[in-house]
Amino acid sequence: MLLKPILALSILALASCATIAPPAPKGTVDHVVVLWLKRPGNALAYETNPVHVKKVETVLKPLAGKILVYDVTR
């Protein structure tokens, strides 16, 4: 019975910005992408996928001033 309100509050608490830094300067966009891979080895398959590589090279890199990738494992 109490589970639904706790779940709703948890979702609301987690659905905010990933940073508490001041807003980005006008004309820039800060964006966070979280990618959760369920099995070991999926990261290598994803980052070497030809479709992914092409999109990174032709779309993401030309638009991004800086790209940071964090690989977090247990």
pLDDT in tens, 12-22: 666 655 556 67
pLDDT of residue 15: 60
In the block, which residue shows the tokens 């004309």? 27
Q: Evaluate whether residue 74 is within a structural domain.
A: no
pLDDT of residue 23: 74
Per residue in 28-42, pLDDT (tens digit) is 777 777 777 778 778
pTM over 0.75: no
> 24 Cβ partners below 8 Å, 6+ apart?
30
* Tally of residues, the chain: 74
Q: Evaluate whether residue 12 is within a structural domain.
A: yes
C-alpha angle 57/26/24, rounded to 5°? 75
Q: Evaluate whether residue 68 is within a structural domain.
A: no
Two tokens at 45? 């398959």
- Domain around 39: 3-63
Q: Evaluate whether residue 72 is within a structural domain.
A: no
Two tokens at 69? 């990738």
Number of structural domains the chain divides into:
1
